[in-house]
Structures are given as structure tokens and as C-alpha cells.
Amino acid sequence: MEREDRKRGLTRRKLLVNGARGSAALALSPLLIPDSAFGRTVARTASGKIKKGGTLTFARSVAPTQLDPANSIVQGDVYTLDKIFEPLYITSPAGDLLPWLATGYTTSANYKTWTFHLRPGVRFNDGTPLTADDVVWSINRAATDKEGPLSFLDSAIKKISASGTNAVVFTLAEAWAPFLSDISVFANAIMPKNFGGKTEKAFFASPVGTGPFMLPSWTADSDLTLKPNPHYWQPGKPYVDEVKITYVDSDNQRVLQLTGGQVDIIDTVPPANVASLKARSGIQVFEFGSWAVDLLIMNEQLPQFKDVHVRQAISYAIDRKALVDATSFGTAKPGGSFFPPSLQYYDPNTPYLAYDVSSAKQALAKSKYPKGFATKVLVDSGNETYVEFAQIIQAQLGKINIDVSINRLDHAAFESTFQKYDFDMFIDGATNDISDPDEMASFNLDYVDGGSKSFWSSYDNPALIKLIHEAEVEPSSAKRGQLYAEIQKIAAQDVPFVPLDYPPNIYATSDNVHGFAVNPGGAYRLEDVWVS
């Protein structure tokens, strides 16, 4: 996502309004994307050369249960599969849309027909060439998968067809503002048509993609080793001989493994450890910007949370600044709107229900539960920050006679539990994966078409859903901004969830790791990473 005032090239909105048609700004080299395109310079040795070879060891907080791009947002691990599969466009670490398996596109005057031109010479990791038929099949599959939680991003597509072997034509039902961003989502990654003749099960046991790495074999919920794709379309990349990914659920254990030299990179660094890691010799800490917000989600399938006055009371009762001050050690900002500040169309004037115990008590008095009630909050036990959030919220809601108990589960059990709606409240993060805010608005608030029944809250507001749909087809950027401001206002007043804070993406590496970067959606590509 790129805010319009950041001026980092053409935004998605300008591309639509100005009618860019495969311009030079979009058509980079068909063979190699320069490092400068990512808004950074890849470090080199004293001799000016990148050192090739070696093993990169990465300790991660989540293990994949499956690697299907169309379904992994719920049951898998998108940060493993995106090393294997690639889409037509990607979001760079700077937040810009870049042509990837496509070199660019052309559009019709009414923006209902989009033609993408495929990058020549791209091969899958088994050596077979990428063709337009593979693209048509892959995106049709993602768009029509009823179980796919992000299939709604392809809802505007009326028809996809191949134009020869190197171009793909998308016919849209209507001009669709987020279309180019939607194409870049990991769920629209390209696979061989019909799984290359394999069964679906056999294909995902040893997946075939165009990405920089391949996975000859793997076991769900376990460590894995990525090997270089010998047919990768960027010559000379990836730089490392292998990537070993280990899965360590505990934040503290990941930190200990990094400081002990057992691993080279760790994710989700606890804020409490940032200062000490920065002061430690041989360690690098990165706080990458993000399109993320941490949420306290309430289950409106339960009568107490169906009551808007209860939800409003909870919003008033939570001191978000105190929560952030106690947990983030200066790395995060208190929540307000459910759009993070870095996201396009974020409204800083969103009238959210800020901390006020007196107002909280008044709101609860208007509810069916004026004397309070007992409830539970579900948290991932391995996420130290979320556990602290739960403890602080427990104390703060106690001031208005809402008695909160904390249910801590390991990550896999946590995920499966809230996805079955077996919770009262739960704490989780929402991240916009693409460069348009439509995903955040739809996934979090569109009960009907958003793929998650409003982030599992079961909040259903037809008037709000109508505004979301209007924003999707509105050609004016200014009017879209007005629509999203109203969407943020309604969500802040109805409180299907409480935006707690806006966290950065915090990673730490040993100082022998070079070229590592994370985009605002949380994705990181590893073909440019090398170890000295």
C-alpha cells in the first residue's frame, strides 16, 4: 500500500485514472529486476562482489500445514509458499507494485479489459516453460475456489483467456479499482496447468513453481529445507545454496537461538528484546514498516457481544496508550482506526471510542448486561506481546465488572479454535497483503463476501458492506477516500473489534546476513539474500 503523498512512482490509483498502458515505468528488464527497484542497495563484500553459496538458517514462528496458495491464509504459511510460487505482480519492500512474471499490461478505455504480457524465458522448477494457459488455469482456480478465503479479491473477473502463449486477457464485469493490486496477492500465484498432470495431493507434496526456491519434500508442521530453483528466471539467483527453516513457537526461544548462533534470522522479535539485541555485537535488528494492526475481536454469535453497547463499553475501557507503553517499548503506536496509518485512505480523524472509564460504564449500563459478565480471551501462548495484551485487558475490563479469563493455546490450536468460532474474544493481527485497502476493508468487515465473516467476528452490517462495494468500483481517488473515511467511522462506532496498536515488522539477523528486506504486507523474498 502506498499513500499518495509518498511519491514513489505511480500509485495503483494513478495507473487506473491516467490509463497507463504497459509504459516503460512498468516494463522492466525481461531477465533481471535490478536491486534498485526494491528501494535498497544489496550489500557487497569489500571486493564489491556478492558472496554466493552457504546456508541461510531461519527460525520462524509458524509452520505450514499445507502450501496451496489459494487456501494458505487460513491453514498454511504464506511466507514459505511465496518462495516457491510467484504472481504476475509483486509488492516490493518499498510498498510499490512491480511487474514480476508479467512485464507490464495494457487496458481498454473503460478499464474492463486488461492484457498482461508474460516475461519471456520463465520456467518452472521442473524445467517446463511458463505459458499463458498456466496463468489462466491458476487464477481461475483461485477465483472459483469457494473455500479460498481470498477468492473475493478476484470477484470482478468475468473471464480469463490466453492470447497466444505469452499474453493473458482479463475481462472484468466492471471497472475495478483494486484490480492490479488484487493480481499481486499470493493467492493468485501461478502453478502449472492441471498441476502438471499430477494429483493435487502429489503436487503439493513436492510443489512446482517459478520461484527462486523449490521444496523437494516436506512434512506439515515441521522444519523444512528450500533448495535453489536451477531454472530461475533471474540469472545467478538465489545466492545461497539452501534455506533451512526451523519452526520455534516461543518468541524467547527464537531470540536465544539467534544470540547463540544457531540461526541467522528470526521473525516476530518481541519488542522487549529490541533494545538489548540492538546493543549486542554481531546482531542486526530491523523494524520494517507494515500495513498491520493488532485487534481484539469479539464473537457476535454470543449474545453479550451481539449487543453494541457491550462492544462500545469494551472499546472505552481499554487504555490503548497504556497498553502500547507497557508492551511495545517504543516500537508500536496506539490503535484508533482499523486501517493502519501507513495504509492508503487511512483517516487520522476517525472518531473511535477512546479510553474513558466513565463512558465505558455508561455504555455498559445501556446494555442488557449492566452489572457485567464473565468472559474469556483466547491468545497464542507463544506470542509474548499478545499474552501481555490479554493480561492488561483483563485488568482494564475488570474496572467495569467484565471478568476476563485468559485461554492460552499453542499456535496451531489457537488458529483452529478461533476458526471454529470457539471463542468469546481473541487477539490476533490483521495485515493488508496487497497495495490497496480493499482487502483490509473486505476481509475485516464484509460478512457476506469477505472470506472470513468479518475476521471471524460475525459482524454483519449491510449498509457498511454496501459502502465497501462502492469503494471497489469508484474511479475517483478523492471519492474513494471519502468512502473509506465513512467505513472507518462506522467500524469505530460499531466496534466489531478493538484496534489495539499498529506494530512494525520486527526481524533480527546475524550481521553476516545481507540483502534481507520485508514489504509492508509482511512478505520477504530471499533470492537477494546472501551470507558472508
Domain ranges of the chain: 4-212+505-531, 292-502
Q: Which of residues 34 and 256 earns the better pLDDT score?
A: 256
Closest CA to 150 of 181, 190, 186, 204: 186
Who's near 413: CB < 8 A, 6+ residues apart?
none
Q: Which residue has the cell 516494463?
A: 27
b/e string for 83-102 if b means 16 or more Cβ within 10 A?
bbbbbbbbbbbbbbbbbbbb
Whether residue 437 contacts residue 343, with contact meaning beta carbons closer than 8 Å, is answered with yes
* pLDDT tens profile 224-278: 999 999 999 999 999 999 999 999 989 999 999 999 999 999 999 999 999 999 9
Task: For residue 5, count CB atoms less than 10 angstroms from its CB and return exposed for 0-12, middle for 13-18, buried for 19 or more.
Answer: exposed
Q: Which fold has domain 4-212+505-531?
A: Dipeptide-binding Protein; domain 1 (3.90.76)
| Residue 49: pLDDT band with limits 50, 70, 90 | confident
CA dihedral 261, 267, 268, 269 (to 10 degrees): 30
CA distance 171 to 451: 23
Closest CA to 62 of 387, 414, 426: 414
Take residue 478 and report the three cell numbers written for it.
478523492
CA distance 404 to 410: 19
* pLDDT tens profile 347-374: 999 999 999 999 999 999 999 999 999 9
Q: Which of residues 450 and 460 earns the better pLDDT score?
A: 460
Who's near 84: CB < 8 A, 6+ residues apart?
67, 125, 207, 209, 211, 213, 214, 215, 226
pLDDT of residue 18: 30
Examine the pLDDT at 345 and tell me if it is beyond 60. Answer: yes
Rg, C-alpha atoms of the chain: 23
Average pLDDT score over residue span 108-134: 97
Beta strands in 51-189 (DSSP E): 55-60, 89-91, 97-99, 102-107, 113-118, 157-162, 167-172
| Residue 490: pLDDT band with limits 50, 70, 90 | very high
DSSP state of 50: P
Whether residue 441 contacts residue 468, with contact meaning beta carbons closer than 8 Å, is answered with yes
CA distance 447 to 444: 8
Please give the CATH superfamily to which domain 292-502 belongs: Dipeptide-binding Protein; Domain 3 (3.10.105.10)
Type of residue numbered 9: G
Q: What percent of the chain has pLDDT over 70?
A: 90
What's the angle, vertex CA 63, arms to CA 61 and CA 418, rounded to 5?
85
Who's near 282: CB < 8 A, 6+ residues apart?
510, 511
DSSP state of 497: E
Neighbour tally for 417: CB within 10 Å: 15
Distance set, CA 130 to CA 125, 165, 204, 402 (Å): 10, 9, 18, 57
pTM for the whole structure: 0.83
At residue 118, the 3 state secondary structure works out as strand
CA distance 465 to 441: 9
